[in-house]
Structure 1
Amino acid sequence: MIRLAYSYINGVDALNRRLGRIVMYGIFVLMGILLWSSVSKTFFLPSLWTLELAQFAMVAYYILGGPYSIQMGSNVRMDLLYGEWSPRRKAWADLITVLFLIFYLGVLLYGAVGSTAYSLGYWGTEPFSFFGGLVTGSEEIGRMETSSSAWRPWLWPIKSVMILGLFLMLLQCVSELLKDMLRLKGEAI
C-alpha cells in the first residue's frame, strides 16, 4: 500500500512539475498579447481580440500553474502560528485542510464540466453522460456558446483548460494528502 502511495505521489508530482515548468513561461505569452494590444492601439487600429485573449491566457496560466504552486508549497498560507508548529502538527493541519480543498475542487470540477457541456450546446442535466455520448457517438455538439464581446470567441476551449487544471489540482491535492498521511506514519517523503 505504501509503495502504491509513493508511486502515485511520484507520478503526479512529476507530471505537475513538468507542466508547471512549461506553463510558467506563459507569462511571456501574456506579455506579448498585452504588448501587441498597446502597439495596435497606439499605431494602428485597436485590436478587438487582445484584451479578451489576455484574460484567457491569464486563466490558463493561473489554473494550470496551480498544481505546481501547491506542490512547491508556494501557495498563500497564514503563517502566524503554522511556522512554529512541529512537523507532525503541520501534517495534521495540512491533512485536515487538504480534505476541505479536495471537496471544494470536486464541486468546482463538477461545475466546470457542466459549464463546458453547456458551452458545447448541451442543455440537459447530465453533463458527464453528454461527454460519454460524444465519445460513443450518441450525442452531438449543438450551438456553441460564444462570448458576448465584439470578438465573440467560443468559450469551450478555455472552459476545457479549466477542467484540465482543476483535475490536475485535484490529483495534486490527493498527492499532498498521501504525503501528509505518510508523514504521520513516520515515513520519509
Structure 2
Amino acid sequence: MPKIIRSYVRTVDRVSDWAGWLAASLIFLMGATLLFDAVTRNVINMPVHWAIELTQFTLAAYYFLGGPFTLKNEDHVRMDLLYSRLSERGKAKLDLVTIWCLIFYLGVMLAGSISSLRYAISTDERRFSMWNPSVIPIKALMVFCLILMLLQAFSLVFKHIATLRGETLT
C-alpha cells in the first residue's frame, strides 16, 4: 500500500485509540457525579438537580467516543452464520461489501447530526429542565465522532484491501 494510505490508517487508528481512552475515563466522571448526587440527596438532604442530567450527557459522550474505538478494533456485534467459516481473504471480501452499508449509514447520520447541530446553534437549544443546559456541546461531539467513525470506516476499507493483497496495515 502507498505510504500516504499507511500514514492515514496509522493516524486515524491513533485518534480512535485516543477517543476510546477518553471514553473509558468518562466512567469515572459518571461514577463520581452519581456518588456526589447520592451523598447530597441522602446524607445532607440537599439534592442537586443537575447530576442525573450531567450523567446522561456524559453517557452520550461515552457512546459517541466509544464508537470509533470499537469500529477500529472490529468489536461490533456481527451476525456470524457463515463469517467464522471464511478464510481471512473471504472475510476481507465480505467486509469490503458490508462496510459500504456502514459508510452509507454513517453518512446519513452525519447529515442529520449536522442539521441538528445547526438548529441547536441557531435556536440556542436547551434541555427543558431545572438545570436548563445547552445541547450544543453534545451535538457537536456527536458530529465530531461520526466524522471520526467515517474516517475509521475508510481505514478499515484500506485494511481489507491490504488483506486481499496479502499485506497488513497497522
* TM-score using structure 1 length: 0.83
SS of alignment partner, residue 126 of structure 2: coil
Give 1:166's match in structure 2, choosing from 124, 131, 146: 146
Structure 1: how far apart are the matches of 2:96 and 2:27? 32
**Amino acid in the other structure paired with 1:16:** S
Structure 2: how far apart are the matches of 1:31 and 1:74? 25
SS of alignment partner, residue 25 of structure 1: helix
Q: Specify the alignment match of 1:154 in structure 2.
A: 134
Structure 2: how far apart are the matches of 1:59 and 1:9? 26
Matched residue pairs, number? 168
Give CA deviations for 1:84-123 in whole Å, capped at 9, x if unaligned: 21101110111111111111111111111111111111xx
* Aligned-CA RMSD value: 1.4
Q: Specify the alignment match of 1:117 in structure 2.
A: 118
Report deviation, 1:81: 2.4
Q: CA contact under 8 A between 2:19 and 2:68: conserved in structure 1?
A: no
Structure 2: how far apart are the matches of 1:84 and 1:38? 50
Q: CA contact under 8 A between 2:13 and 2:152: conserved in structure 1?
A: yes
* TM-score using structure 2 length: 0.92
How many percent of aligned residue pairs carry the same amino acid?
40
SS of alignment partner, residue 32 of structure 1: helix
Is 1:176 paired with 2:153? no
Report deviation, 1:83: 1.6
Structure 1 unaligned segments of length 5 or more: list them.
122-142
Q: Specify the alignment match of 1:97 in structure 2.
A: 98
Q: Specify the alignment match of 2:17 in structure 1.
A: 17
Structure 2 unaligned segments of length 5 or more: list them.
none
Runs of 4+ in 1 over 4 A off after TM superposition: none
Structure 2: how far apart are the matches of 1:107 and 1:119? 18
Q: Specify the alignment match of 1:30 in structure 2.
A: 30
Report deviation, 1:148: 1.4
Q: Specify the alignment match of 2:60 in structure 1.
A: 59
Give CA deviations for 1:42-83 in whole Å, capped at 9, x if unaligned: 122221111111110001111111111111122222233222
**Amino acid in the other structure paired with 1:103:** F
Structure 1: how far apart are the matches of 2:27 and 2:80? 28
Q: Specify the alignment match of 1:135 in structure 2.
A: none
